[in-house]
Structure 1
Amino acid sequence: MSHKVGHEDVTDVPVGWRAKLRQIGPGIMAAATGVGAGDLVATMVAGSRFGYVLLWAVVVGTIFKIALAEAVGRWHLASGQTILAGWRTLGRWVLVYFGAYAVVWGFVYGATAMSASGLPLNALMPGLSVRYWAIICGIVGFLLVWFSRYAVVEKVMTVLVGIMFVTVVGTAILVTPNLLDTLSGFVPRLPSGSFVYVLGLIGGVGGTITMAAYGYWTMAKGWRSSRWLSMMRLDNAVGYVTTGIFVVAMLVVGSELLLGQQIVDDDEGLLMLGDILAADYGQWARIPFLIGFFAVAFSSLVGVWNGVSLLFADWWRTWRLPAGATDTGEDYDRKAGVRSPVFRGYVLWLTFPPMALLFLDKPFQLTVTYGVLGALFMPFLAGTLLVLLNTRRVPGEGRSGWVSNTLLTLCLALFAYLAIDELIGLFS
C-alpha cells in the first residue's frame, strides 16, 4: 500500500521478511555506485602483492561503510530533513565547500566513469575505440536517468549488481581458492609494506560522495519518518554485505592469478586479468569477466548520474533558502528531485562537458583541485554526521549511541589520515 506525499509515493512500512526483502533497493544502489573499476584494481593489486592476508581489511571496511551509510539514512528518516539541510545548520561554509566539490568532481568523474565503462566494451568489441564506447555509455546513462523514475533506475542497478556479483564471484570459484589460506586471511595481520594497502581497502572500497546520496534514495523509495529505521538498516546492511562479498571475491582472484606479478595500477589492469583468464581457462572465462567489469563501471556511472544530481539539486534549493528559514521534507519535494531544472542541469554537466577530457589528458591544475576536494569529502561526511546526530537537531530515537559514535569516530580518524596522505602525495 502507498499514498502520496508531495511528488513521491510513500509506502507503508513492510511487516515480515518477504515484504521487507521486496523493499530492499537504496542500499544496493549506494553500495554498487560506490564501488568502481578503480576500487577493483586496488583490491586486485593488494591480492597480487599480499595474497589472502588482507581479507580482514575488507571486512573492517564493510563495517565502516555500513556505519556511515546508516548514519546518513538515519538523519533523513529521524530528522525529516535532507543531509544538505543538516549541513546548512553548521554554517554557510559547508554549502560553499560542497558546491565547489560537486562542480569540479562531477566534471572529472564524468570522464573517468565513461572511460571505465568503455574499456571492457572495447575489449569485447574492439572495432570501436575506448573513447567512442565511453561516449556511448555516457549518453545511455544520461537518457536512462533523464527519462526514468527512481523505480526504473533501481531495477536497472539491481540487474547490474546481479551481473557483477555472479560474474566476479563465479570467477573466484573458478580459480579454486585454497580454503585454509582464505580463512586465515580473516585474522588481522600487517605484513611489511602492507599498511597503505590496508588503509586503502578499509577506506576506499565503496566510499565516495555517493554515500551522501543514500538518504535521497530512501526518500525516493517512499521511506519517511523514524518508523522506517529498522527497514533502512536491513537495506543498508544487505547492500554493503553484498559489496563486501564481491570485493572479497576480487581479492581472491587477484591472489590466485596474479600473486607476485607487477600489476599496472589503473583500469587497464582489469583487462590484463581478463587476458590471463583467457590464457588459463579459455575465452569463455574472459568474456563473463569483462561483462562483470562493465557492470561494475556502468552501475557506478548510472548511480552517480542519478544520486549526485539529486544531491546537487538539493544543494541549490538549500543555498537559496532565506537565513533562518525552517527546512522541511515537503519543501524538498516541491523544489528539488528528478523533475527540477537543477537536477537535469547537473546530469547534463556530468555527461557532455567531460567528453572533452576523453580527447585530452587531464589538466594538472584540475587534477590537483579534484584530488584536494575529494580527499577532504569522506572525513567531512564522517565529522558532520558525528555532530548532527548527537544534537537536538534530531529526535532521541535518531541520535547516535555508543556503537555508532565509536564507528563514526574511527571513520573520521581513518579518512582524515588518508586525506592527509593523499594531500602530501599531491603536493610533494
Structure 2
Amino acid sequence: MANAAPDLTAEPRKKWKVIGPGLVVAATGVGAADMVSTLVAGSMFGFALLWAIIVGVILKIVLVEGAGRYVLASGKTIFEGWRSLGRWPVWYFAPYIIIWGFIYGATAMVTTAMPIAALLPGVPLNLIAVICGLVGLVLVWFNRYAVFEKITAALVGIMFVVIVGLAIIAAPSLPDLLAGLVPRLPGDSVLYTLAMAGGIGGTITLVAYGYWLREKGWSHPSWMRVMRIDNTMAYVITGIFVISMFIVGATVVAEAGVTLSADSKGLLQLTDVLKDKYGDVIGVAFLIGFFAASFSSLIGVWNGVSLMFADFWGNVRGKGPDHKDSRENGKYFRFYLLWLTFPPMLLLLIGKPIALVIAYGVLGALFLPFLAITLLPMLNTDRVPKEWRNKWYTNVALVITAVLFICLAIYKLADIIVGLFS
C-alpha cells in the first residue's frame, strides 16, 4: 500500500520536504542545449524575450501537471493512457524511443565530458565521454530511485548556485529586466521566442515524471496536492535558473561582443569570456556548473527514459506495468540502460549518420505536440474520474501549448529540410 500523503497544513516547512520527482524532471530537462539557446537569445535581443521564458515555465507546469494528474487519478502509466487512444501512439513511440536513445546517448556523454576536458586538456574528449557514460550506467544500475533523486538534488544545488551567482555578479539593470516582462517580438526573434517559450525544460523527459511519481511511492489521488506543489516548485527553480542564464547572455556575452556557437561549444566559449572578465576562479566555477547541469540530464535520462521503455516493452509483451520486468532494474529497464550507453559510443568514433540525425530531429520536433494533444482526450474523458478531469482553463492552456509546440515543430522541420538542400 502506498504511503499516506503528508498533512501539508501542519507545518509550512514540510512542503519543501516533499520536493522530489519534479526537481528531477526539471533538472533532466535543462541541459547544455537549453543553456546555449538561452545565452544566444540573451546576447542577441537583450532582455526583450524574458517574458517568453516565464510563459514557457507556466506551460511546462501545465503539461507536467497534466501528466502527473493522469497517473495519480487513473492509477495507470502514461503509456497505458496512450495505448487507450488506439494503436497509432504505439507506432509513433516505438521508433522514437529507440532512435532518440541512440542519438541522445552520444550527445549526453560528449556534452558532459566537455567541461571536464576543458579542465583536463591533455585527456581525449571521447575517453572522458565514455567514462561519463559508464559512471552514469553504474550509478543508475546499482541504485534505486531514492538514491538517484538525492544525487540529482546535489547536482541541481551546484548548478543553481553557480548560475544564479553569475547572474548576480553580472548585475543586470533592473529597469531593463522589468521591461523584458512586457511581451514583444524584436526583429528576427520569432524562432528564438518559440524556443524560449516551448523548448526550455525537456521533451520526452517530461513524461518520465509519471514514472518517477510511481517510484517515489506517490501512486494515489491523495498525493495530488503534493504532486502539484512538487511540480510548481521545481519549475519555478528551473525558471530562475534559465532567467539567470538569460541575464548572463544579455550582459556578459553582449558586452564582450562575441558570437557564441549554437551548439554545446558555446558554453566553452562563454568560459573564456568569464575568465577574461572575472578571472580563472569564476571560469572554473562555471565549468563545474556546466558539468552538473549536463550530468544531471545524463543520469536523469538513463533512469527516467529507461523506466518508460520498460513500461512500453512490458505492455507490448502483455505484462502489466507492475510486473518486475516493467519496473526499475527489471530486465527491460536494464536493456535500455545498456542501449543508451554502449551503442552510442560507436557514434563518438564514426560521427552521427545523417539519416539518424534527420530521424532524431523529426521525431523530437513532433514529440511535444504529440504529448500535449494526447493529454486532452486522456484528461477529458472517463479515463480519469470526473473530479480530476480538466477545467476549462486547463484545456485552454493545453490547446495553447499544443499550438505553440506545433509551430516550434514546423520551424524545426523547416530547418532540417533547408539543411538537407543547402
TM-score with structure 1 length normalisation? 0.94
Shift of 1:207: 2.8
Matched, 1:253 2:248: yes
After TM superposition, the structure 1 = structure 2 runs for residues 274-289 of structure 1, keeping only pairs within 5 Å, are 274-289=271-286
After TM superposition, the structure 1 = structure 2 runs for residues 39-188 of structure 1, keeping only pairs within 5 Å, are 39-188=34-183
**Partner of residue 6, structure 2:** 14
**Partner of residue 204, structure 1:** 199
After superposition, the C-alpha distances for 1:305-349 in whole angstroms (9 at most, x for unaligned) are: 000000000001111239xxxx6xxx4254411131010000000
Alignment equivalent of 2:329, drawn from 309, 327, 339: 339
After superposition, the C-alpha distances for 1:356-393 in whole angstroms (9 at most, x for unaligned) are: 11112211111111111111110000000011000001
Runs of 4+ in 1 over 3 A off after TM superposition: none
**Partner of residue 318, structure 1:** 315
After superposition, the C-alpha distances for 1:127-162 in whole angstroms (9 at most, x for unaligned) are: 212211111110010000000000000000000000
User: Helix, strand or coil for the counterpart of 2:322?
Assistant: helix
Alpha-carbon contact 2:53-2:196 (below 8 Å) kept: yes
Shift of 1:424: 2.0
Counterpart-to-counterpart distance in 1, 2:151 and 2:186? 41
Letter of the structure 2 residue corresponding to residue 15 of structure 1: D
- Identity value in percent: 53
**Partner of residue 361, structure 2:** 371
Alignment equivalent of 1:380, drawn from 370, 381, 385: 370
After superposition, the C-alpha distances for 1:246-288 in whole angstroms (9 at most, x for unaligned) are: 0000000011112253221111111111111111111011011
**Partner of residue 237, structure 2:** 242
Bigger mean CA offset, 119-128 vs 13-22: 13-22
Alignment equivalent of 2:339, drawn from 343, 349, 352: 349
**Partner of residue 226, structure 2:** 231
Alpha-carbon contact 1:29-1:303 (below 8 Å) kept: yes
After superposition, the C-alpha distances for 1:160-211 in whole angstroms (9 at most, x for unaligned) are: 0000000000011111111111111111111111111100101111131000
Counterpart-to-counterpart distance in 2, 1:247 and 1:77? 29
Shift of 1:221: 0.7
Counterpart-to-counterpart distance in 2, 1:306 and 1:100? 19
Counterpart-to-counterpart distance in 2, 1:258 and 1:183? 20
**Partner of residue 293, structure 1:** 290
Counterpart-to-counterpart distance in 2, 1:176 and 1:416? 36
After superposition, the C-alpha distances for 1:92-133 in whole angstroms (9 at most, x for unaligned) are: 221121111000000000000000000000111212122111
Counterpart-to-counterpart distance in 2, 1:88 and 1:317? 13
The CA RMSD over aligned residues, in Å, is 1.2
Bigger mean CA offset, 207-216 vs 174-183: 174-183
Structure 2 spans left out of the alignment, 5+ residues: none
User: Helix, strand or coil for the counterpart of 1:321?
Assistant: coil
**Partner of residue 269, structure 1:** 266
**Partner of residue 390, structure 1:** 380
Bigger mean CA offset, 65-74 vs 354-363: 354-363
Counterpart-to-counterpart distance in 2, 1:283 and 1:165? 20
Counterpart-to-counterpart distance in 1, 2:259 and 2:14? 48
Aligned residues: 413
**Partner of residue 426, structure 1:** 416
